[in-house]
Structure 1
Amino acid sequence: MFGLDAFHLARIQFAFTVSFHIIFPAITIGLASFLAVLEGMWLKTRNETYRDLYHFWSKAFAVNFGMGVVSGLVMAYQFGTNWSGFSQFAGSITGPLLTYEVLTAFFLEAGFLGVMLFGWNRVGPGLHFFATCMVALGTIFSTFWILASNSWMHTPQGYIIQNGIVVPEDWLKIIFNPSFPYRLFHMSVGAFLASAFFVGASGAWHLLRGNDNPAIRKMFSMALWMALIVAPIQAMIGDAHGLNTLEHQPAKIAAIEGHWENKPGEATPLILFGVPDMEQERTKYALEIPYLGSLILTHSLEKQIPALKSFPKEDRPNSTIIFWSFRVMVALGLLMITLGVVSLWLRFKGRLYHSRPFLWFTLLMGPSGLIAILAGWFTTEIGRQPWVVYGVQRTIDAVSAHGDMHMSISLLAFILVYSSVFGVGYLYMMRLIKEGPVTGEGKEVDHGGPGQHHTPARPLSAAKTHSEKSGEH
């Protein structure tokens, strides 16, 4: 397929499935905590706006949660089908970590999800709020274990190798490996930001269409407060993560910077734009800012960062890809910070809900958090190459012995099935969001009780059909 061998097709297949999958957990993590905050605020204030928003976003959460579970199962199977060399070599570590994720996160979520979605009129308010918090906590646990496993692949420790197989020696060192805290916070905060911009874009869309009510304003305002506070925090976490990566994966940093060689006695410049050429070992059309690379990465105007030419060719990540994926992530982060600052200025001016240019800006920034997460994952995973376990096992040694034809057919099947099944899921979720929260004094809100009109027994029954909409007029 396209002249690629089974090894590269397996990598593309995993990249495709993980790119589809990661969007769902990111939104799930953020929306679960958002729902917990909404219900907590409703219990504290008894302001019906918070309750209306809870029921509105719980529908989108349910659809998103279901798609995340299904897409995640496929990824787990690929460890055995396409990466049996990795499973045999490091399964004694990654297997238990993924098992802990199921035993803690998945069971916690599954145990309380039904109460959260369908128990509003069936259990007391305190118990229902507890169920919502447990689901939110489950998403954090899931992030914890998945990032522990993935981070160990980047900065492995706490193991020995016996008979060509990894044997765990110290589980605390394995779990709390050097890159884990940075990656955990970076991903978690990224998920909160992605959800905030998702919610904010929904509010902007309704305001642009003239659907201005207290619930729309409240979710729009909450999303922008989140952007204002959390986006700068994410930038600081990213800086700390970069310093950690420089210490443990210097080749990745050199590839991200498109930095090929150091000149004696000169600080490292920052290359804003350019085209890294892996064959010619240089970055073409480089636009540089002197000293800034050293200042950002070493917090010094004198120290140099490692250059790509200081590493053997076979150990260099593909700078052409991660040079740009990193810059996409950073550019979107700067736009997020800008949007948060502008929102604060408009809030004080009393124009937050009326400035159409700003509403369009917020709407267009809706997918920015998800795109930034994808760009960040491309950067960190491609930057780990050519290692699947950094410095321990090469990716070429981890792949299963499949033929080119088998991998081509399975990749095409994944593309067709994922695009159709999850594409429908995306469209349905957008349809839910376009309806907006049900509000209005004296208007009955359906919460899933038996016999209630148009009450969904399933999340995929939540959006009204065309005939139902027509009957309202």
Structure 2
Amino acid sequence: MEFLSDTVVLSRLQFAVTAIFHMLWPVLTTGMGIYLVIVEGLWLKTHNPDYYYHARFWSKLYVLNFGIGVATGVPMEFQFGTNWASFSEAVGNFFGSILGFEASMAFMLEAAFLGIMVFGWQRVNPIMHYVATILVAFGANLSTFWILAANSWMQTPAGGEFVDGKFIVSDYFQAIFNPFMMNSVLHMFFGTLETSLFVIGGISAWYILNKRHSAFFSKALKIVLAVAIAVAPLQIYIGHLSGEQVYHHQPSKLAAMEAQWETIPAGVAADWSLLAFPNETAEQNDWEIKVPNALGYILEFKKELPEPVLGLKEWKPEDRPHLLGLIYYSFRIMIAIGFFFAGLMLVSVLQWLRGKLSPENITQQRWLLVAWIFAAPLGYIAVESGWIVRCVGRQPWTVYGQIRTVDAVSNIPASNVLTSLLSFSGVYTLLFCAALFFGSRIIRRGPNFNLPLPSSETQAGVNTDPGQFIPDERPLETQQ
């Protein structure tokens, strides 16, 4: 087990563990924040108490994810100073600024208004509360923008040059809006929103399948469907644009994603590898299933590509990505989940149009509800798979084409990294178990229909006693 004495391998493994675990939580908060904006807006527009209780119920899961996201995100960023000091010293004047913008602009905005969103229902004007909810959702998604801007710069560095091993910024806007940035931000934005939609839809389907508050949660499922009609196909299209960018800017990553060993010349129709078993030692695929002439259509909607698709053999072994099986299958898992989501959305919409999702009929759609429950965790797998492709496929570079990973790591003993890796793994395991426990308890208890609705005085903008409420406005189910 030579890797236990390798600082580079252990530092990469530690960052992977912390990043993969941390990613589980903001994925839901960024998307669920938008959902909360929608249901609270419907509450203000229609005064239907169901939407108010939806906002109160789902915000509990939001707060749980927010708390664990904060607890796991801070240690992850500290690693740039502890494990990746050489990288931080080389690019800190830009990269450090971007992480600082994320903390000061986005995280602080989200944290500042979260208290109003959670505790301000009976204490502030409904419009002020709605503004707070909007700002919480905006702050969560602004974090996505800054994190993706920083990571995209690592993929396609721009806006300056390296002088004596340090990056000197000449144009901050060019560095921020680097070639990868826009599609990366959009792909992550729709990825987190899609994941949140199918989590909310899956939880709602579980309630309906168990005949608990069926009419109430059928509303949630229909809201999810209405948004997913646009999100699911858009996510597939933006994913295609991201793949096209990899083709033009990171040919070695594309070769790894496709397990392509030989170069395909320009103007030649290329097959797409559907499944394969890459053999890095023999520099070939031991077996492979191909779709004839499909690669060009996948990359640029053309049979014949205008530029060659470089094979892995174009680079020396030390200059190409490794762990090809991980990159290759992570990419295909992400694609498969994206198309499954689109298919499930389409089938569900057709059932909706046929009247099968009405409160009277929805409990009879067992196969569809089971499919939604099955889909609930798949978004997490797709997001994590995408980040594996993005970061493992960038190797052996930390900053693509500029700083090698072996040169970016801190000069510290491997034993130190192993100790922190084991410590993080232990703490994160406890946090994960705690999240499952408290999250399942929130779901088992379900929505609290005894919560008071905002009083007429509060709705008029007057601060009033939190105990006051409108007694006769209750969801339809609770009146029956």
Aligned to 1:28: 29
More divergent stretch after superposition (369-378 vs 350-359)? 350-359
Alpha-carbon contact 1:52-1:215 (below 8 Å) kept: no
Distance (Å, rounded) in 1 between the aligned partners of 2:451 and 2:377: 33
Distance 1:451 1:54, change over 3 A: closer
Distance (Å, rounded) in 2 between the aligned partners of 1:450 and 1:371: 45
Provide the identity percentage.
39
Distance (Å, rounded) in 2 between the aligned partners of 1:125 and 1:280: 66
Distance (Å, rounded) in 1 between the aligned partners of 2:194 and 2:222: 14
Q: 2:329 aligns with which of 324, 327, 330?
A: 324
Give 3-state SS (helix, strand or coil) of 1:287's partner: strand
Aligned to 1:336: 341
2:316 corresponds to which letter in structure 1?
A: P
More divergent stretch after superposition (285-294 vs 190-199)? 285-294
Aligned to 1:466: none
Distance (Å, rounded) in 1 between the aligned partners of 2:3 and 2:252: 28
Distance (Å, rounded) in 1 between the aligned partners of 2:100 and 2:121: 31
Distance (Å, rounded) in 2 between the aligned partners of 1:127 and 1:30: 21
Aligned to 1:379: 389
2:155 corresponds to which letter in structure 1?
A: H
Aligned to 1:345: 350
Distance (Å, rounded) in 2 between the aligned partners of 1:332 and 1:182: 19
Aligned to 1:462: none
Could you tell me how far 1:298 is from its partner in structure 2? 3.5
Alignment of 1:102-251 (within 5 A): 102-251=103-252
Could you tell me how far 1:35 is from its partner in structure 2? 0.8
Give 3-state SS (helix, strand or coil) of 1:305's partner: coil
Q: 2:370 aligns with which of 360, 363, 367?
A: 360
Q: Does residue 272 of the first structure (1) align with residue 274 of the second (2)?
A: yes
Distance (Å, rounded) in 1 between the aligned partners of 2:421 and 2:264: 45
2:106 corresponds to which letter in structure 1?
A: A
Q: Residues 274-306 of structure 1, C-alpha deviation per residue, up to 9 Å, x if partnerless?
A: 111111111121001111012212332222422
Could you tell me how far 1:444 is from its partner in structure 2? 4.5
Alpha-carbon contact 1:200-1:223 (below 8 Å) kept: yes
Could you tell me how far 1:405 is from its partner in structure 2? 2.0
Could you tell me how far 1:435 is from its partner in structure 2? 2.1
Unaligned runs of at least 5 residues, structure 2: 455-463, 469-480
Q: 1:289 aligns with which of 279, 288, 291?
A: 291
Q: 1:427 aligns with which of 417, 421, 437?
A: 437
Q: Does residue 438 of the first structure (1) align with residue 448 of the second (2)?
A: yes
Distance (Å, rounded) in 1 between the aligned partners of 2:123 and 2:280: 62
Q: Does residue 307 of the first structure (1) align with residue 307 of the second (2)?
A: no
Could you tell me how far 1:225 is from its partner in structure 2? 2.5
Q: Residues 111-160 of structure 1, C-alpha deviation per residue, up to 9 Å, x if partnerless?
A: 21111110100011111111111111111211111111110000001112
Give 3-state SS (helix, strand or coil) of 1:62's partner: helix
1:430 corresponds to which letter in structure 2?
A: S
Distance (Å, rounded) in 2 between the aligned partners of 1:193 and 1:232: 10
Alpha-carbon contact 1:225-1:340 (below 8 Å) kept: no
More divergent stretch after superposition (292-301 vs 110-119)? 292-301
Give 3-state SS (helix, strand or coil) of 2:411's partner: coil
Moved over 3 A (4+): 1-4, 262-266, 443-447, 449-453
Distance (Å, rounded) in 2 between the aligned partners of 1:435 and 1:2: 49
Alignment of 1:31-46 (within 5 A): 31-46=32-47
Q: Does residue 396 of the first structure (1) align with residue 406 of the second (2)?
A: yes
Unaligned runs of at least 5 residues, structure 1: 454-473
Could you tell me how far 1:451 is from its partner in structure 2? 7.8
1:332 corresponds to which letter in structure 2?
A: I
Distance (Å, rounded) in 2 between the aligned partners of 1:9 and 1:420: 21
1:112 corresponds to which letter in structure 2?
A: F
Distance (Å, rounded) in 2 between the aligned partners of 1:367 and 1:36: 23
Distance (Å, rounded) in 1 between the aligned partners of 2:141 and 2:312: 36
1:55 corresponds to which letter in structure 2?
A: R
1:413 corresponds to which letter in structure 2?
A: S
TM-score with structure 2 setting the length: 0.90
2:443 corresponds to which letter in structure 1?
A: I
1:236 corresponds to which letter in structure 2?
A: Y
Give 3-state SS (helix, strand or coil) of 1:193's partner: helix
1:379 corresponds to which letter in structure 2?
A: V
1:326 corresponds to which letter in structure 2?
A: F
1:351 corresponds to which letter in structure 2?
A: K
Could you tell me how far 1:267 is from its partner in structure 2? 2.0
1:111 corresponds to which letter in structure 2?
A: A
2:366 corresponds to which letter in structure 1?
A: R
Distance (Å, rounded) in 1 between the aligned partners of 2:351 and 2:467: 42
Give 3-state SS (helix, strand or coil) of 2:167's partner: strand
Could you tell me how far 1:167 is from its partner in structure 2? 1.2
1:313 corresponds to which letter in structure 2?
A: P
Give 3-state SS (helix, strand or coil) of 2:130's partner: helix
Give 3-state SS (helix, strand or coil) of 2:240's partner: helix
TM-score with structure 1 setting the length: 0.91
Alpha-carbon contact 1:10-1:399 (below 8 Å) kept: yes
Distance (Å, rounded) in 2 between the aligned partners of 1:282 and 1:429: 46
Could you tell me how far 1:2 is from its partner in structure 2? 6.6
Q: Does residue 369 of the first structure (1) align with residue 370 of the second (2)?
A: no
Q: Residues 162-183 of structure 1, C-alpha deviation per residue, up to 9 Å, x if partnerless?
A: 2321111100101000000000
Give 3-state SS (helix, strand or coil) of 1:160's partner: strand
Could you tell me how far 1:69 is from its partner in structure 2? 1.0
Alpha-carbon contact 2:397-2:404 (below 8 Å) kept: yes
Q: Residues 322-372 of structure 1, C-alpha deviation per residue, up to 9 Å, x if partnerless?
A: 100000101111110110011011112222323101100100110111110
Distance (Å, rounded) in 2 between the aligned partners of 1:451 and 1:174: 49
Could you tell me how far 1:320 is from its partner in structure 2? 1.8
Distance (Å, rounded) in 2 between the aligned partners of 1:77 and 1:55: 34
Alpha-carbon contact 2:204-2:217 (below 8 Å) kept: yes
